[in-house]
């Protein structure tokens, strides 16, 4: 799958707008993995999205499988093109987390409850193209083997923890795979007839439910993720919301932080947030 649309995303989406009778409600734009446009469908706000890489298309199949249960609803679909329910609320989890300790804790509980809703869906044959967590962690294993002493041995330690966790017996669910403050949006206050907080932009993986919560510890930004006591408070909240043992959650956080840092280093990105969280998680696990 290639990435058409960067030069003229409007033209790329034109056939899909015509097919589904969609009215533009903003400019079309391209990302590294898709072409999108806010639209109106029968007067109702929506998003038109065309995946341009295979991973994004696989995530779209997961959205369709969830069928609006804990995630944005897919209103129409054909191949790699989707029409998605559009968030209409003005609440933002990153802003909530930045408002202070209470706001950060509230945002964490919202993220946990969103993930628990997603994990509970398992009433139909699973979507095609899912991959297991062992395959998802391959880049960490490769990076740790090539750089065993880098970052004070963090990658090697994270890889050991990931291997141990993957070998343990655990529940197996369809995971979101990228659960963070920007991927759970406000679809309106449920008490006023809205749909509440719903997830968008999943990956296409399955495995231990605890994996999905580790990313919360690395988000929404460096200041919050590295704040004194934040790791311990957040792990405690996750345990309270999900029943996951705190030590097990710390182990998954170490493994996830290593994977995230490995991805960042290999792509030339900023690995410092993940490295900092990983170092804190390692000390907590080993302490």
Q: Which of 7, 178, 245, 270 is catalytic?
A: 178
Could you tell me the two tokens for 146?
Answer: 């090539």
Assign 46 to helix, strand or coil: strand
80 is catalytic: no
Question: What whole-number distance in Å separates Cα of residue 116 and Cα of residue 123?
Answer: 15
**Continuous H helices in the chain:** 9-20, 54-66, 93-98, 101-119, 133-136, 138-146, 150-167, 211-214, 222-225, 230-242, 246-267, 272-286
Burial class (CB in 10 A: 0-12, 13-18, 19+), 252: buried
Give the CA radius of gyration of the chain.
19
Catalytic residues: 178
């Amino acid at each position: 799958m290639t990435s058409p649309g960067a030069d003229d995303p409007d033209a790329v989406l034109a056939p899909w707008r015509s097919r589904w009778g969609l009215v533009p409600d903003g400019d079309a734009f391209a990302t590294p993995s898709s072409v999108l446009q806010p639209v109106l469908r029968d007067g109702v706000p929506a998003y038109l999205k065309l995946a341009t890489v295979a991973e994004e298309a696989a995530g779209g199949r997961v959205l369709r499988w969830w069928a609006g249960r804990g995630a944005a609803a897919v209103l129409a679909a054909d191949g790699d093109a989707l029409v998605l329910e559009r968030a209409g609320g003005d609440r933002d989890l990153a802003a909530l987390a930045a408002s202070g300790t209470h706001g950060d804790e509230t945002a964490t509980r919202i993220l946990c409850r969103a993930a628990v809703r997603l994990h509970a869906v398992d009433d139909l044959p699973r979507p095609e193209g899912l991959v297991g967590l062992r395959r998802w962690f391959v880049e960490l294993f490769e990076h740790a083997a090539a750089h065993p002493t880098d970052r004070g041995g963090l990658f090697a330690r994270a890889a050991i923890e990931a291997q141990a966790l993957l070998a343990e017996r655990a529940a197996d669910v369809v995971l979101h795979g990228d659960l963070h403050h920007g991927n759970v949006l406000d679809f309106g206050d449920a008490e006023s007839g809205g749909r509440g907080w719903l997830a968008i932009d999943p990956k296409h993986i399955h495995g231990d439910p605890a994996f999905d919560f580790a990313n919360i510890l690395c988000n929404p930004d460096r200041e919050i993720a590295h704040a004194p006591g934040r790791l311990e408070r957040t792990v405690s909240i996750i345990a309270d919301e999900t029943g996951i043992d705190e030590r097990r959650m710390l182990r998954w956080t170490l493994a996830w932080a290593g994977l995230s840092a490995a991805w960042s280093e290999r792509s030339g990105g900023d690995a410092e947030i993940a490295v900092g969280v990983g170092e804190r998680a390692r000390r907590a696990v080993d302490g």
